[in-house]
Amino acid sequence: MIEGLELWSEFNVAMVGATAALAGLVIVASSVNIAEIVKTRSLTARLAAGIAALVLAIVGSGIGLVPNMSPAWFGILLGFAAVGAGFFQVQATRAIFADHDPAAQAKLAKSIFGFLPIAAYVAGAVVTTVGHPAGLFLVAAGCILAIVTGIVVSWVALVEVLR
């Protein structure tokens, strides 16, 4: 086990509960206008990436609660989860840059914003794989960034669809 991982158990429990509730709320809120959301490929892809980031936070925090997890397995599992979420962000980035709507602005910023939690999780995965406890702070940053990006992307999708 990574030295000090047990000290993060309360954080991980809180993050699993918070992100699971938030992901559920995002899905329910978006389902209200899903017919309009799916008309815009970039909104659909960004919303999927936002939900994937929240799922990454759930999975990452859940993995942190597994007893007697070795540093290598903790990092490897985090890495796989981050790659899975990264797939959705890549698809969102492609959709953002394919959007030819003149109102679509700040394409690069929108794309980079979505990669922030994934990058933090990947960095945390690498650092924890080698057994360094500093990786846990990167994982925590990734979790918080996932919540922030999930909320912002969801809000944007829900507002944009009504314009």
pLDDT band per the 50, 70, 90 thresholds, residue 7: confident
**Which of 155, 82, 77 has the alpha carbon at shortest distance from 120?**
82
Q: Which domain holds residue 46?
A: 5-160
- pTM exceeds 0.75: yes
Tens digits of residue pLDDT in 136-147: 999 999 999 999
Residues ≥6 apart with Cβ < 8 Å to 151: 22
Q: How many domains does the chain have?
A: 1
Report pLDDT for 59.
Answer: 97
